[in-house]
Chains A and B, each alone.
Chain A
Amino acid sequence: MTTIQEKPVATQNTAYAYLVGRIRMLERGVLNGRILESALKVEDVEQVVRIISELPYLSEALQNIPKAPAPLDDALMSHFWETLKEVGRQKLGKNLSLFFQYSFDFNDIKLIIKRHLAKKASGREYPGTFDWKKVSHFVSGETGEHLSDVYRRAIEETLAVYESTHHVQIVELVLDRVYLQEVMNMAEISESPVIKNWLIAFFMFTFFRSAFRAKYQESKFELYRTIYFKNPYLSLEDLSDIITGPDEKIGEVLVHSGMKNILLGEGEYRNDPYYLAEIEKNMDNYLMRFIRPYRTLTFGPEPVFGFLYAKSIDIKNLRILLHGKYFGIGENELRNKLRECYYE
């Protein structure tokens, strides 16, 4: 596991000058520590919105939106989606935004398949790169519908595995596997060693996260292994050790895989939901610290990718803040849940 521990050299490709110039403007709309701290101190959702509206772009996205978590959540999500589309419209930005677009698309497919399995009429649609009706038709068996190979494969594999197991959780696991295979492919073809290593770290964290959850939920390992596919970074035995082994074994696996620093305190694992939430926060912070030093570059894909990740973390932080304030969660408790910002 030496690849992601080294500090990779950025590409400095001047072909990204346009995109980076544009990102420099858009970065003015990224949250920073000062804004978050001010937002933590206020009493209610309306005041939080007033504070974050100081930031350009975000203020436009939140204009005339009812001051309640659900509509604000939708507005933030579509704001992020529009940013992704805008970056993806540029030839060089297409592959960079694809990673983030995939997370939308795969979540959409999960929902479509679950609705299909529950025999529910089509409900609300969420942002995605495809036509929801086409995917719904495809899931219902109209395989003549045109779909990209990735989604076609994802749906076919999921439905086939479901047919043999009739376990709803399998839908999530198989789709996560196809998603992670795509992340792996993206890492392999990435022109930037920084983004490549970042994607590998993300890939490993997703495996760890799902293994920790499986351990907590006491899922059967046979079910969990559906998410796994052979890769050079994590073996099935490592994940098996996490799920079925004693708690002390987890620290060993993380040390062995080079990810010791996501553990808290003395490095001892505790199988409780608060600890899991903390570890997930550490994973997000690790990824942020990984990409943050490259934000000052003038050329290359790294600042663009870093900005997109920063936006995704902003959405996560704002959700925590807005929901927290709405339900009256205390300032300190909320502060502990917040992720590190791109700009401190």
Chain B
Amino acid sequence: MIIDGLTIAYLGSALAIGLAGIGSAIGVGIAGEAGAGVLTEDPGKFGTVLILQALPGTQGIYGLLSGFYVMIKLGLLGGSPVTVSVLQGVQILFACLPVAIVCWFSAIAQGKTAAASIGMIARRPEETGKAIILPAMVETYAILSLLATILLLNTIKLG
């Protein structure tokens, strides 16, 4: 079987969407479990818990965004794919790795931090602001990886 450049580029797009999505699903799941525990005792905290639970979901969006950007670049959404050499395909694959890997791990880490913050608002509801800032710090690295992926993709010139 011959692997062409387009297939390798698909792999990059798939990894960005897939790994970041998996990370987000795990992160949101962890935060959700902690949130469910708090809501069992006090359903009034739903609003804050929801914000904290949603935070690890953003990595999945960044992965999807990068994946779509690759698809647009390849002309897939317009219905007329461009020609991609094997080297260009590999370049696209590597460009997708920052967002795929960083978002995968950071979403899980953010989910754990969000769960800890949910525990914090359970005991100290007055500290909601600080509780949101802590998991939001993890977001920085997901944003940086998205930026790196977009910049890397922009350097690749397709015919």
Decide if B123 touches A28 in the complex (CB within 8 Å). yes
Q: Considering the chains assembled together, what is the distance between the CA atoms of A24 and B48 in angstroms?
A: 15
Q: Considering the chains assembled together, what is the distance between the CA atoms of A26 and B33 in angstroms?
A: 16
B121-144 near A? 1/0 per residue, CB < 8 Å: 011000000000000000000000
A14-29 near B? 1/0 per residue, CB < 8 Å: 1001111111111110
B37 CB → nearest A CB, Å: 3
Chain A residues whose CB sits within 8 angstroms of the CB of B120 once the complex forms? 24
Decide if A25 touches B36 in the complex (CB within 8 Å). no
B1 CB → nearest A CB, Å: 40
Decide if B37 touches A17 in the complex (CB within 8 Å). yes
Choose among B31, B37, B118 the residue with the greatest number of A CB atoms under 10 Å from its CB: B37
A136 CB → nearest B CB, Å: 36
Decide if A21 touches B123 in the complex (CB within 8 Å). no
Grouping DSSP codes into helix (H, G, I), strand (E, B) and loop, the B interface class, with mixed when no group exceeds half, is: helix
Chain A residues whose CB sits within 8 angstroms of the CB of B42 once the complex forms? 25
Task: Contacts A298-B115, A299-B115 given; indicate if A17 touches B40 (C-beta within 8 A).
Answer: no
Decide if B41 touches A26 in the complex (CB within 8 Å). yes
B106 CB → nearest A CB, Å: 16
- Neighbour of B34 across the interface among A20, A26, A27, A28, CB < 8 A: A20
Chain A residues whose CB sits within 8 angstroms of the CB of B41 once the complex forms? 22, 25-26
Chain B residues whose CB sits within 8 angstroms of the CB of A25 once the complex forms? 37-38, 40-42, 122-123
Decide if B112 touches A14 in the complex (CB within 8 Å). yes
Chain B residues whose CB sits within 8 angstroms of the CB of A20 once the complex forms? 34, 37, 115, 119
Decide if A24 touches B37 in the complex (CB within 8 Å). yes
Decide if B36 touches A21 in the complex (CB within 8 Å). yes
Q: Considering the chains assembled together, what is the distance between the CA atoms of A20 and B42 in angstroms?
A: 14
Q: Considering the chains assembled together, what is the distance between the CA atoms of A320 and B19 in angstroms?
A: 56
Choose among A21, A22, A23, A298 the residue with the greatest number of B CB atoms under 10 Å from its CB: A21
Decide if A21 touches B112 in the complex (CB within 8 Å). no
Q: Considering the chains assembled together, what is the distance between the CA atoms of A18 and B39 in angstroms?
A: 10
Chain B residues whose CB sits within 8 angstroms of the CB of A17 once the complex forms? 30-31, 33-34, 37, 115
Chain B residues whose CB sits within 8 angstroms of the CB of A19 once the complex forms? 37
Contact count band on A = 10 to 19
Is B21 interfacial (CB-CB < 8 Å)? no
Chain A residues whose CB sits within 8 angstroms of the CB of B67 once the complex forms? none
Chain B residues whose CB sits within 8 angstroms of the CB of A22 once the complex forms? 37-38, 40-41
B30-56 near A? 1/0 per residue, CB < 8 Å: 110111111011100000000000000
Decide if B30 touches A21 in the complex (CB within 8 Å). no
Q: Considering the chains assembled together, what is the distance between the CA atoms of A23 and B122 in angstroms?
A: 9
Question: CB-nearest residue of chain A relative to B125?
Answer: A28
Question: CB-nearest residue of chain A relative to B33?
Answer: A17
Decide if B122 touches A14 in the complex (CB within 8 Å). no
Is B116 interfacial (CB-CB < 8 Å)? yes
Chain A residues whose CB sits within 8 angstroms of the CB of B37 once the complex forms? 17-25
Chain A residues whose CB sits within 8 angstroms of the CB of B122 once the complex forms? 21, 24-25, 27-28
Task: Contacts A14-B30, A17-B33 given; indicate if A298 touches B38 (C-beta within 8 A).
Answer: no
Decide if B123 touches A298 in the complex (CB within 8 Å). no
Q: Considering the chains assembled together, what is the distance between the CA atoms of A299 and B42 in angstroms?
A: 20
Q: Considering the chains assembled together, what is the distance between the CA atoms of A299 and B34 in angstroms?
A: 9
Q: Considering the chains assembled together, what is the distance between the CA atoms of A26 and B123 in angstroms?
A: 9
Decide if B123 touches A18 in the complex (CB within 8 Å). no
Question: CB-nearest residue of chain B relative to A303?
Answer: B119
Question: CB-nearest residue of chain A relative to B31?
Answer: A17
- Neighbour of A24 across the interface among B30, B33, B38, B112, CB < 8 A: B38
Chain B residues whose CB sits within 8 angstroms of the CB of A298 once the complex forms? 34, 112, 115-116, 119
Q: Considering the chains assembled together, what is the distance between the CA atoms of A285 and B113 in angstroms?
A: 31
Q: Considering the chains assembled together, what is the distance between the CA atoms of A20 and B36 in angstroms?
A: 10
Q: Considering the chains assembled together, what is the distance between the CA atoms of A22 and B35 in angstroms?
A: 8
B71 CB → nearest A CB, Å: 34
A84 CB → nearest B CB, Å: 16
Question: CB-nearest residue of chain A relative to B108?
Answer: A14
Decide if A27 touches B30 in the complex (CB within 8 Å). no
Residues of A in contact with B (beta carbons under 8 Å apart):
14, 17-28, 298-299
Closest 5 CB pairs of A and B: A21-B37, A22-B37, A25-B41, A24-B122, A21-B34
Task: Beyond A18-B34, A22-B37, A24-B119, list 8 extra A-B contacts (CB 8 Å).
Answer: A21-B33, A21-B34, A21-B35, A21-B118, A21-B122, A26-B41, A27-B123, A298-B116
Give me 27 A-to-B residue pairs in the complex whose CB atoms sit less than 8 angstroms apart, sorted by A's number: A14-B33, A14-B115, A17-B30, A17-B31, A18-B36, A18-B37, A19-B37, A20-B34, A21-B33, A21-B35, A21-B38, A21-B119, A21-B122, A22-B41, A23-B37, A24-B37, A24-B38, A24-B118, A24-B119, A24-B120, A25-B40, A25-B122, A25-B123, A27-B122, A28-B122, A298-B116, A298-B119
